[in-house]
Chains A and B, each alone.
Chain A
Amino acid sequence: MPDARVIPLHGPEHSLPPVAGRPGDRGAEPAAHRGRAPGDEFAELGEGIPDWEKQLADLLAFLRRRISGDYEVDEFGFDVELNDNVLLPLLAPLYDKWFRVETIGMHNVPADGGALLVANHSGTIPLDALITGYAVHEHHPGHRHLRMLGADLVFRLPVLGPLARKAGHTLACNPDAERLLRSGELAGVWPEGFKGIGKPYRDRYKLQRFGRGGFVSAALRTGAPIIPCAIVGAEEIYPKIGDIKPLARLFGFPYFPVTPLFPWFGLIGMVPLPSKWYIEFGEPIRTDTFEAGAADDPMLVFNLTDQVRETIQQTLYRLLTQRRNVFLG
Chain B
Amino acid sequence: MAPRVVLVTGVSRFLGGYLAARLAGNPDVERVLGVDTVPPSRDLLRRMGRAEFVRADIRNPLIAKVISTARVDTVVHASVTANPAGPSGRTTLKEMNVIGTMQLLAACQKSPLVRKLVVKSTTAVYGASPRDPAVFSEEMGPKDLPSSGYAKDAVEVEGYVRGFGRRRPDVQITTLRFANFIGPRIDTVMTRYFSLPIVPTVLGYDARVQLLHAEDALAILERATLHDLPGVFNAGGDGVLMLSQAIRRAGRIPLPVPSLMVPTVGTVIRSARLVDFSPDQMRFLNFGRVVDTTRLKQEFGLTPRWTTREAFDDFVNGRGLCPFIDPDRVAAVEREILDMAAKLR
Contacts and interface: CB of A to CB of B under 8 A. Distances in A.
Interface residues of A, number: 44
Nearest to B309: A72
Contacts of A155: 130-131, 287
Nearest to A170: B134
B330 A64 contact: yes
A139 interface: no
B245 A162 contact: no
A50 B244 CA distance: 35
A161 B133 contact: no
A158 interface: yes
| Most A C-beta atoms less than 10 A away, residue of B131, B248, B327, B334 | B334
Interface residues on B, range: 35 or more
B242 interface: yes
A82 to B, nearest CB: 10
B137 interface: yes
Contact of B130 (A5, A64, A67, A156): A156
A74 B240 contact: yes
A57 B338 contact: yes
Nearest to B241: A73
Interface stretch (B79-87, B168-176, B200-208): B200-208
B268 interface: no
B130 to A, nearest CB: 4
B132 interface: yes
B130 A171 contact: yes
Nearest to A69: B248
B246 interface: yes
B241 A53 contact: no
B140 interface: yes
Given A68-B327, A158-B203, A179-B135, A2 B248 contact: no
A175 interface: yes
A96 to B, nearest CB: 30
A77 B187 CA distance: 27
A42 B335 CA distance: 10
A231 interface: no
B334 A37 contact: yes
Nearest to A162: B206
Given A67-B248, A158-B259, A161-B205, A171 B334 contact: no
Contacts of B330: 64, 67-68
Interface string B313-345: 000000000000101101110110110011001
A289 B341 CA distance: 60
Interface string B23-49: 000000000000000000000000000
Given A37-B334, A67-B325, A171 B131 contact: yes
A158 B240 CA distance: 20
Interface in A191-220: none
Nearest to A71: B245
A152 B143 CA distance: 12
Contacts of A68: 248-249, 251, 325, 327, 330
A135 B136 CA distance: 31
Contacts of B325: 67-68
| Most A C-beta atoms less than 10 A away, residue of B134, B205, B331 | B134
B247 interface: yes
Contacts of A79: 242
B127 to A, nearest CB: 14
B290 interface: yes
A2 B245 contact: no
Interface in B180-224: 202-206, 208
Given A37-B334, A53-B345, A73 B208 contact: yes
Contacts of B328: 2
Nearest to A61: B334
Given A2-B331, A69-B246, A156-B130, A175 B208 contact: no
A152 B240 contact: no
A77 B242 contact: yes
A175 B137 CA distance: 9
B131 A69 contact: no
A152 B132 CA distance: 9
A161 B248 CA distance: 20
A182 to B, nearest CB: 11
B242 A73 contact: yes
Interface string A311-326: 0000000000000000
Given A79-B242, A175-B137, A2 B130 contact: no
Contacts of A42: 338
Interface string B222-261: 0000000000000000011110111111010000000100
Contacts of A179: 133-135
Contacts of A38: 331, 334-335, 338
Nearest to B207: A162
Contacts of A77: 134, 206, 208, 240, 242, 288
Contact of A2 (B203, B249, B332): B332
29 contacts: A39-B334, A39-B338, A42-B338, A53-B341, A56-B338, A60-B337, A61-B334, A64-B327, A64-B331, A66-B248, A67-B248, A68-B248, A68-B251, A68-B325, A68-B327, A69-B241, A69-B246, A73-B240, A73-B241, A73-B242, A75-B208, A75-B290, A76-B134, A156-B131, A158-B203, A170-B133, A171-B132, A175-B140, A176-B134
Given A64-B331, A69-B241, A75-B135, 9 more contacts: A69-B247, A70-B249, A77-B208, A79-B242, A152-B130, A158-B205, A159-B204, A175-B133, A175-B137
- Nearest first, the 7 closest Cβ-Cβ pairs linking A and B are A158-B204, A69-B248, A69-B249, A155-B130, A162-B206, A156-B130, A175-B133
